[in-house]
Structure 1
Amino acid sequence: MIKIIKCFFFLLLVLLFLNGCNPSNVNEDIFQFKDSYVGDNGAVGNITMRLPSPNGEHLNGLELKTTKEPYGIILNYKKADTPEEIEKNYKETAIYNATFIFALVKNADWVTFNFVDQEYRITREKLQKWYGKNLREFTNEEDLAKLTQEFLADKGKVSQFFRE
């Protein structure tokens, strides 16, 4: 009987340990990382993991440029092993992801997106001018996503953003 009890508690301990290792924070609000800094690789990594990837690609790493101002982030993508069903445009993905990074990371001045066959660099100044809003003023994901989707719906505006 004692062996059964010991075995039960051992299994319970293993299950509790495995549950503690579960990455349940993936669904948490991305705005918990608001006011992060480029130098905080944990926060920037968590932000970028929650952002969408285009055309069956996935984030393959990031570089934080913190040695001199202006500070920036480089996101490197690579081809995924299996294609995703959702196809996204590189330009739209870059704008969407940069919008969230600039809203959440205080001192990020630019972001470079290295996709498999395209590279885009977006600055905070240019993106905020495009929106006509200070992205730092947003306090929740819903309002920021609504603004972003509103602007991304106009393909002409998106194309114009990258021509300027």
Structure 2
Amino acid sequence: MMVWVGSLIWVTGVVYLLIRSVISYLKVRESLRTAVLVKDHIFETDRIATPFVLGFLKPRIYIPLGLSEPELSYILQHEQTHIRRGDYLIKPFAYLMLIVHWFNPLMWLSYSLMNKDMEMSCDERVIRKMGDRIKGGYSTTLLSLSVGRSQLHSGSPLAFGENHVKARIKNILSYRRPSSWRVAGSLLVIGIVIAGCTANPKPLLVPTQPSTQQIYMGYDLDKMMDNKTLYVGAASKVGGLIGGMPYPEGLEGKGMELQTTAPPYGVTINYIMNQPTDLIEDGALDSDLFARNSILLLSMIDNVDSITYSITDSTGQYNGDTYRFTMTREEADKLLGEDVRKYSEDEASVRQLIDRLSGESPTF
């Protein structure tokens, strides 16, 4: 139930963010219907307050009316840098990853910092290309064209003054072209970090402690006691119980099915026979092992009513037939003359039940 509710909440969040981002994108596209081509891939319109890049296959730069010549030169250099670097594809992809992992606060932080780094990197590129003398004018342009995040949602285009304006202006005014030694040192550190993260270190050898696992006649008693359960719907517990029992030779496990919608409640354990086995004699299933395991499961799962084993032949030796063995709680109680659940009270009782079953060899 918890997994189902959690999945429903996650899907709801994904759908909400997707719809919100699509609506935001469509609103931006609608506002650009009257945009006029200036030259190449640059369009001008009076419906926007800040320049931005829009488009996936053929990205375009949209600019508002009334920009001065210096402002226009800064903006075009900035937005063209976005296009050359493929930021118009990277940002939507990153936002899609954010939508999928919306429940993780680190993803929101990472996305915000990615946007900040992306914009600062383009700012620095413009300054390197046009010179330090433009810092004042560039900062003034950025401040005058800055807009709130509410006007362009995070999944929308790359806007010149979309966010982090204060930090970007500080970075612009304090920016100095890095020396070649600093660049080389940074690359060296990055290379060392990457090598360290991709290396596969030799595991530390720790002296192993003697195993305290309680194995009795092929049954893992510790595992069985740990997974004792009141409800057949506890899938992990039921799987743990099955895993603590002797595994039929020549068979490959193919999962289990739990009948929990309405009584009688049941467990079906599926196997595939991949090689000849002595479990089939004269066309019939040798049910001794399955009977013992069924009774033990009936004792360890409080509300289960029947245990079924299904074995499908894939060797061709038995014509692909499926053999089934089922034991009900009524049959198990009748065989032992009492309620089998009393044998799950403690480990000693489980041992006693295994001894009884191994001696009586119950066959139906």
With structure 2 as the length reference, what TM-score do the two structures score? 0.34
2:261 to 40, 61, 67: 67
Residues 1:125 and 2:330 aligned together: yes
Distance 1:147 1:28 in 2: 16
Is contact 2:299-2:340 (8 Å) kept?
yes
Cα deviation for residue 58 of structure 1 reads: 2.9
Unaligned runs of 5+ in 1: 1-5
User: Identity of paired residues, percent?
Assistant: 26
Which residue is equivalent to 2:290?
A: 94
Residues 1:134 and 2:339 aligned together: yes
Cα deviation for residue 15 of structure 1 reads: 4.4
Is contact 1:90-1:115 (8 Å) kept?
no
Cα deviation for residue 54 of structure 1 reads: 3.0
Is contact 2:221-2:244 (8 Å) kept?
no
**Relative contact order: is structure 1 or structure 2 higher (C-alpha 8 Å, sep ≥ 6)?**
1
Distance 1:133 1:34 in 2: 19
2:357 to 137, 148, 162: 148
Distance 1:78 1:96 in 2: 20
Is contact 1:36-1:43 (8 Å) kept?
no
Distance 1:144 1:31 in 2: 13
Question: What are the equivalent positions in structure 2 for 1:40-79 lying under 5 Å apart?
Answer: 40-79=234-273
Larger radius of gyration: 2
Is contact 1:60-1:78 (8 Å) kept?
yes
The secondary structure found in structure 2 opposite 1:73 is: strand
Quick one: which amino acid aligns to residue 69 of structure 1?
P
Moved more, 108-117 or 66-75: 108-117
Moved more, 142-151 or 46-55: 46-55
Cα gap change, 1:49 to 1:80, in 2 (>3 Å) = farther
Cα deviation for residue 25 of structure 1 reads: 10
Distance 2:270 2:332 in 1: 20
Distance 1:143 1:136 in 2: 13
Moved more, 63-72 or 142-151: 142-151
Cα deviation for residue 32 of structure 1 reads: 1.9
Cα deviation for residue 133 of structure 1 reads: 2.2
With structure 1 as the length reference, what TM-score do the two structures score? 0.70
Which residue is equivalent to 2:68?
A: none
Cα gap change, 1:49 to 1:11, in 2 (>3 Å) = same
Quick one: which amino acid aligns to residue 234 of structure 2?
D
The secondary structure found in structure 2 opposite 1:54 is: coil
Is contact 1:110-1:123 (8 Å) kept?
yes
